[in-house]
Amino acid sequence: MTRHFLEISDLSVDELREVLDLAMAPPTSLLSGRGVALLFEKPSARTRHSSEMAVVQLGGHPITVSAAEVDLDRRETAEDVARTFAQYHAAIGARVFDHAVLERMAAAVDASGFGVPIVNLLSDRGHPCQAIADLLTMREALGSDLAGRVLTYVGDANNVTRSLALAAVAMGMQVRIAAPEGYQFDASELAEIAAFAVEAGEGGSVLQGADPEAFAEHADVLYTDVWTSMGQEAEAMERRAAFAGYCIDADLLARTPSAVVLHCLPAHRGEEISADVFESARSLVWRQAFHRRTAMIGIFTMLAQLGSIQ
């Protein structure tokens, strides 16, 4: 059965650790003579470039297409686009508005027996490739054993938060999510992360509240993302008001003397992060961006080890 990578929880803890190790190993030529299709419904700087360069470093040839180019679900269904790409490519990555589109693509290639994995390059639900890069960055900064470390996320409980929280609890981290009411995970979403922590068995935990100051105390990592994600632009004004105070600035950073600061980028200085913190020595955002490429090498190599890339 083809294994897809739509969310961090598609991997076991052992597999997740293996992805991290593979990401740091010299790339092999496992994609030699093969293609990887990368489909984007939304803009991207890091994801497109890190994915393309990872494919090149694995000996393959990336082909990036915009959703407009194939006119997804108008000219042709997402199922038929995925099954077309499966005729030429060893893997398919896609960035979509609606996570269900990824699930439809995966179901279609599975039902047709084409044996090509779908990789989530960001959906409204998750951003697992980012979360792998986040783990690599945290391990580099804090040591390879992240168990017991405190990760405080400040801002919108969104796609990046979900994948990050799943990845962090799997490593045994204590995840605290500080988000204003109305922008927090609902009970079932939180329960899903807590259940993955239990399944992982590494002692990880997740806590959610509305107080960034309290949650920043003794944190090892402070993490934030934009208040308004792609596709939510119409809510930007309302969100700016709701998120006032949910900013990683010097005052918040002072609550925890040694924490490093992460941001998946793009950043909005003066909103979720202050310009001085963004540029400070404690900010690891460029190392995090660097690890987007190593993460993709780990993910593609793991999919090959699992037999999903043949």
**Annotation marks residue 130 as catalytic:** yes
Site for ligand NVA in 227-266 (CB under 6 A): 229-230, 264
- Alpha helices by DSSP H, the chain: 13-24, 46-57, 67-70, 78-85, 99-111, 128-142, 159-170, 187-200, 212-216, 236-242, 250-254, 275-279, 285-305
Minimum distance from residue 225 beta carbon to ligand CP (Å): 8
State yes or no: residue 267 binds ligand NVA (CB under 6 A).
Answer: no
| C-beta separation of 38 from 9 below 8 A | no
Q: Which does 158 bind (CB under 5 to 8 A by kind): ligand CP, ligand NVA, none?
A: ligand NVA
Provide the minimum distance between the beta carbon of 124 and ligand CP in the complex, in angstroms, as a whole number: 13
Strand partners, 205: 174
**What b/e string do you get for 65-93 counting C-beta neighbours within 10 Å, with b at 16 or more?**
eebeebebbeeeebbebbbebbeebbbbb
137 near ligand NVA, judged by CB under 6 A: no
End-to-end CA distance of the chain, in Å? 12
Stretch that binds ligand CP, among 42-50, 106-114, 137-145, 248-256 (CB under 6 A): 42-50
Residue among 2, 130, 228, 294 that touches ligand CP (CB under 6 A): 130
Of 205, 194, 124, 187, nearest to 159 by C-alpha is 124
CA distance linking residue 216 with residue 212, whole number of Å: 6
> Residue 120 binds what, of ligand CP, ligand NVA, none (CB under 5 to 8 Å, by partner type)?
none
Residue 45 contact, options ligand CP, ligand NVA, none, Cβ 5-8 Å cut-off depending on partner type: ligand CP
Q: Which stretches of the chain bind ligand CP, using CB under 6 A?
A: 44-47, 122, 130, 264-265
The catalytic residue positions are 95, 127, 130, 225, 264, 292
- Which positions touch ligand NVA (CB under 6 A)? 122, 158-160, 225-226, 229-230, 264
